[in-house]
Amino acid sequence: MNELLKINYDTETPTVSARDLHEALGIRERFSLWFSRYSDVFENEVDYQSVGKPTVVNNGAKRTIDDYLLSTDMAKHISMMTKTEKGKEMRQYFIDLEKAWNTPEQIMARALKMASQSIESLKDRCKFLGDQVVEQQQIITELQPKANYVDKILQSKSLVTITQIAKDYGMSGRKFNQILKELKIQYKVGGQWVLYSKYQNNGYVHSRTIDITRAGGRPDVTMQTEWTQKGRLFLYEELKKHDYIPVIEQVA
C-alpha cells in the first residue's frame, strides 16, 4: 500500500496530522477555517487533540503553529465529506489502513510490543524497588548501633554512676565529669557533682548517701550523684551535639 499520508503510530491508535491531511486533500481554503467546520462535528480529546507543529517561516525563523492529531476514522470521514477524487482516494487509503491494522499479524505485533513495554516497565520498577531496599538497609545499618544503645538505656531501670556511663564512651569517670563541667551541665559543690539549675529538676540524677569512715575511725557520710536512665538519655542527646558518641556507635 502506497503511503499517501504519513501515519503516526506512536499513539495508542494510529493518527494523522490535520495539516498534512489538509495538504494531501489539496484544500485551498485556509487551514484554520477549514478545520473549524469539522471541529464541532467531532469530539475533542476523543476524535482529535490539539498539538503544536514546528515550522519555518519565510524569513527562516522557527515558530510553532496550531495542528491537530486526528484519528484515522475522523480523517476517513473528512476525506469522504470532501467529495473530490482526492478525497475518495484518501478515504480508500484509510479503509485499507484499517484492514491492515486489524490483521492477526498486526494485532499480535501490537500485543508483543505492549508486553515488551510492560516488561521494561516492570524491570524499571523492580530496579527502583531494589534500590529502595538497598538504601533502606543502609539506613537501618547506620541507625542500628544508635538503636541498640538507646534500647540499652530504655531497658534498664537502675541508677548508674558517672563512671559506668563514661565506660560507654571509652573514657574515665574523671575525664567524663570534666567534659560535663565544660558543657555547663554540672559543677562541684563540697566534693559532689551537682547539675546546673536548668537541669536539676528534670529527674536526671539522684543523690545517694554513703556511709564512710574517716581517718581515726570517725564515722561520716558523703553524697554521691547517680544518674537515672532518663538522665543517661539526656546525656546521650547533649553529648551527641558536641560529637561525643558511645563506643557502640563509633565507626570502626
The span from the CA of 223 to the CA of 210, in Å, is 6
Whether 54 is in a domain gets the answer yes
Confidence band (pLDDT; 50, 70, 90) for 90?
confident
Selected residue with higher pLDDT from 67 and 223 = 67
Report the number of distinct structural domains present in the chain.
2
- Whether the per-residue pLDDT at 184 is higher than 90: the answer is yes
Average pLDDT score over residue span 34-42? 88
Residues 98 and 183 in one domain: no
Range of weakest confidence among 35-44, 55-64, 117-126, 221-230: 117-126
56 is in which domain, residue-wise?
A: 15-102
Residue 118 exposure: Cα atoms within 13 Å on the Cβ side: 6
Whether 69 is in a domain gets the answer yes
Whether 112 is in a domain gets the answer no
pTM above 0.85?
no
Residues 160 and 245 in one domain: yes
Confidence band (pLDDT; 50, 70, 90) for 172?
very high
- Whether the per-residue pLDDT at 140 is higher than 60: the answer is no
* pLDDT score at 74: 92
